[in-house]
Amino acid sequence: MRALVALLIAALLPAPVFAQDDRPLPRPEEARPEPAPKPVPPPAPPADRDEKAKEQADPPPAPPSEAKESPPPPVASEATPPRDAPKADPAQSTPSDPASKDPADTPAPAEAAPVKPAGPPLHASLREDDFTYSACLLDLTLMGASYEERPAVTDSADPDCGIDRPIQLTSPLPGVEIDGGALMRCDTARHLARWLRDFVRPSAALLPGQPRLVGLVPGSTYQCRATVGNASEKLSEHALGNAFDIAAFRFADGSKVEIAPRQDDGDLTEAFQHAVRGTACLHFSTVLGPGANAAHDNHLHLDIKARKGGFRLCQ
């Protein structure tokens, strides 16, 4: 009991105050880092060797009066390589050398387009079969035309020129002659004969004195050449026997109507020229005359060129 009381009294009494030391506690010996060993300086060289090395490293500057500026180094041009540049070894490939490139990065050479075999000459594509040719000759005979069959015509200057089954037409209708005759395809002659029969003869009967048509003065007939009157270099229909040019109409009384520019003349001659020119477009796919271009001011150009959709060019 007494011991318990003594413990309570000791707990209630204030603890004794001791003087405190503000100095930091020393670190344990094992926690202090050991100082690094100091490097041992190399032995100093002799004084005379040090001075000689300094003189070789730093030469004394030249006096201001004797100092000269060194010229700038020459600039190497593209044409003249630098004098001190090392020569390239041809055995070693440079980056620009195609041999140094990866073959996978080099595009394969383009394959040449296959050469198309040359087709048949253009005139051969217009060759009539036996039935068509015979039917055409029969039509001419029934209309009273005078003609002669001729052997195939070709031209060494241009293999596309020619007529496979030509005829020499001397009279498309009875009593109507072509001065000197004309070589052409049979179908060209048939269209010419029908146009003269259906339109030109009736129109001539309306001229003063009702002269009878007796002849045609031709311009160009078969001729191996390009078209004229424009900048085109295409083959003319004359080179295939598809075209016939008329320079004038001759009449039985000796009169003649020449094709010429006629504007607002107001006479029957002008009306006749307009009539035959306009009706020609019903039988021919191309009709060119005065006003179309300067090359056709003195004749009517008539041809049977086949165009897409049956298009007709009448000027």
Q: What is the pLDDT of residue 262?
A: 87
CA 151, CA 100: separation in Å to the nearest integer? Answer: 67
Q: 213 phi and psi, to 5 degrees?
A: -70, 125
The answer as to whether 186 is a domain residue is yes
The answer as to whether 275 is a domain residue is yes
pTM over 0.85: no
Q: 217 phi and psi, to 5 degrees?
A: -95, 110
Q: Domain count of the chain?
A: 1
Q: 303 phi and psi, to 5 degrees?
A: -145, 165
The answer as to whether 4 is a domain residue is no
Joined tokens for residue 159: 């293999």
Q: What is the pLDDT of residue 75?
A: 47
Count other Cβ atoms within 10 Å, centred on residue 248.
18
The answer as to whether 129 is a domain residue is yes
Per the structure, the complete domain to which residue 178 belongs is given by 124-314
Residues 6+ positions from 274 with CB-CB distance below 8 Å = 262
Distances (CA, A) of 35 to 31, 32, 38: 12, 9, 9
* pLDDT < 70 positions in the chain: 1-118, 229-232
Count other Cβ atoms within 10 Å, centred on residue 289.
25
> Whose structure tokens read 């339109």?
199
The answer as to whether 164 is a domain residue is yes
Q: What is the pLDDT of residue 260?
A: 94
Tell me, what DSSP letter sits at residue 250?
E
The answer as to whether 234 is a domain residue is yes
The answer as to whether 153 is a domain residue is yes
The answer as to whether 88 is a domain residue is no
Nearest to 162 by CA among 174, 152, 170: 152
CA 2, CA 295: separation in Å to the nearest integer? Answer: 156
Looking at this protein, which amino acid is placed at residue 39? P
